[in-house]
Structure 1
Amino acid sequence: METRGIIEAISEAKQNVGGIKQVVWVAAGGSHGGFYPAHYFLDQEAKTIRSKNITSNEFVKAPPSFVGENTVAVICSMRGTAETIEAAKVAKKLGAATIALYVDESELTELCDYQVKYESVALDESDFSKTNSAYGLKLAMLIMDQVEGYDQTETALAEFSKIDAIYRQAVLDIRPKAIKWSMQNRESTSIHVMGSGPAFGAAYIFSICNIMEMLQIDSPTVNSCDFFHGPFEVIDEDTSVFLLVSEGRSRSNDERAVRFLNQFGGKKVFYLDAKEIGVDKFDPSVSEHFNHLIYSPILNNVFMRELAYQIKKDYMTRTYMWKAPYK
């Protein structure tokens, strides 16, 4: 069943209990960060729908009290992470309608009421309009349109057809800067990643999944606004900073950070402007919600890979993941 049909079916099934009132986005690690644009969209645009983005094991141990028959739980795992499967069991026990986003079938797809297969953000051959983040955002838009109406629905849905081409052009345009950045950072022991608003989820994934998990380099994630409430105290000429300058209403917050870093930072300060990677090519009425869908694969497939090449790191190796017990 396609995404619009799924939301229509859930809405109809929930009519006798008062309809859809809440959405929880449940996943772990990069999949959790991948739901950020969906949650951000509802958090910013919806007037009546409650949205929460929560990690799988937190949901298992402490599910929000509002989760129940009026809830849609969108649950993502590429291959069936154990704690995400447990989260699906909890969501179903609490009465939520469940949608699994997956690459490989697993117990998660068996448990959930509906299934949406996505394509990996880490594979060059993927259609980048069909990643987990893209499907999450599309589901969020369709839920809002179904429940309370969204006057930009058709405009927004049409923009998904642009994603793959914009991403592929961005790869070509930005690679020279990525090579220069990676050469400047091949000896960095810490890389601060900054962003705000619609780009913060991409910053978070770049830190925890790309730089820390895949390259084993320390990487704090800092909100461009909260930068001025503590983190800016560590800035000097040697600090490595990677700042996402987003398209949309939060752009001025990122630009404020740019002005400070231009004055007090050094040669390891790097800005990746959403306009450089084509986010401004989306319709301006909805473009801010597409920041993540271009940023995240560019960071993973261009910047992370170029840095891995410079430091001679096999980014598929791990120290603890898949090796050490952590139950």
Structure 2
Amino acid sequence: MEIQEEVKKVVKKAITKMKRQGGIRQVIWVGAGGSFGGFYGANYFLEQESTKLFTSMCTSGEFVYAAPRNLDENTLVVLCSMRGTRETVISAKIAKERGASTIALYVDESALIKISDYHIKYESLALDESRIERVNGSIGLCIAMNLLNEVEGYANYDLAMKTFALLDATYRRAVKYTTPLAKEWAELNQTEKTIYVLASGPAWGAAYVFSICNLEEMLQLNSPTIHSYEYFNGPFEVTDKGKSIFQLLATGKTRPEDERALRFEQRFGGKKLYALDGKEIGLDDLRPEVSPYFNHSLFSSILNNVYMRQLSSATSQSYETRRYMWKEEYL
């Protein structure tokens, strides 16, 4: 079964159930680390397209300690965890106790899918054999698009669903294109200890995941994530020719923010300034009505599987090593 059809069936079931409770009023996306950041595309889509559904994101830890007061039977909580992160499981319990409906995204079965009303299995974007329309960020976006279509209608729904089928081939072409570029970037940064990552709009979530999961967690490098507009409200003061800056250029409405940041970086940055353009990785090959919403799916996969891996190779730092994660007590 295509993932689009699987998601459509799950969303229809959730919406039908919630109609008996007064209907759906809001969606909350909950996760930890990459599972949290992966929902950014879904949340961004609803912020841009919905006039009736309130949407928000919350880390699993914050949901446990400070769940929103308006969490109730008119709320759909969508949770994601590859293996059943403790706080994400507790978040599902809290959501259920407050009467909310829940959908869980998972790779390995855990208590999360036993607690949640509905569940969808996803494929890890870190595996070369995984299809990009089936990774967590893509499924989250598909859920958001189906929710919008069910609740208030989405004019580009059919086009968007067809676009999911194009993602994997687009990604494979982008891998071939970016691999030699990423190798050059990695060799230039093989002794760098801090890499600044900038983005905005539909690419912001990919920048966040690249920083905290790829560079900091996997390669133990310092990596501040900076919004392209907020760059001019403080962070641009650290720009100089010695800094390593990685700028994402999103496609869509907020692209001028990224272009403005890049122009300044080109004036005052140095040889370690690097820009990865969404147009280069195939987003402009998708129909403009929907292509901006697929920034996260393509950027995140390329950053993880091409740029992070090339930097790992150049630094001889295995991306499978950890200092604390799964080794030290941090519950």
TM-score (norm 1): 0.99
Q: Runs of 5+ in structure 1 lacking a partner?
A: none
CA offset at residue 281 of structure 1?
1.1
CA offset at residue 17 of structure 1?
2.5
The partner residue of 2:122 within 106, 118, 124 is 118
The partner residue of 2:132 within 128, 137, 146 is 128
Distance 1:156 1:273 in 2: 22
CA offset at residue 148 of structure 1?
1.1
**Secondary structure at the residue paired with 1:284?**
coil
Distance 1:280 1:92 in 2: 41
Distance 2:212 2:220 in 1: 9
The number of equivalent residue pairs is 327
Aligned ranges 1:1-327 → 2 under 5 Å: 2-327=6-331
CA offset at residue 314 of structure 1?
1.0
Once the two structures are superposed, what CA deviation does each residue of 1:88-128 show, in whole Å capped at 9, x if it has no partner?
10111111111110011111011111110000000000011
CA offset at residue 192 of structure 1?
0.1
CA offset at residue 217 of structure 1?
0.4
Distance 1:215 1:7 in 2: 37
Q: Runs of 5+ in structure 2 lacking a partner?
A: none
Greater CA drift, 11-20 or 92-101 = 11-20
TM-score (norm 2): 0.97
**Secondary structure at the residue paired with 1:17?**
coil
Structure 1 runs (4+) greater than 6 angstroms displaced: none
Greater CA drift, 113-122 or 16-25 = 16-25
Query: Letter of the aligned partner of 2:281 in structure 1?
Result: I
**Secondary structure at the residue paired with 1:275?**
coil
Aligned sequence identity (%):
50
**Secondary structure at the residue paired with 2:165?**
helix
**Secondary structure at the residue paired with 1:129?**
helix
Once the two structures are superposed, what CA deviation does each residue of 1:291-324 show, in whole Å capped at 9, x if it has no partner?
0110001000000000000110111111111112
Distance 2:44 2:18 in 1: 24
Over aligned residues, Cα RMSD in angstroms?
0.9
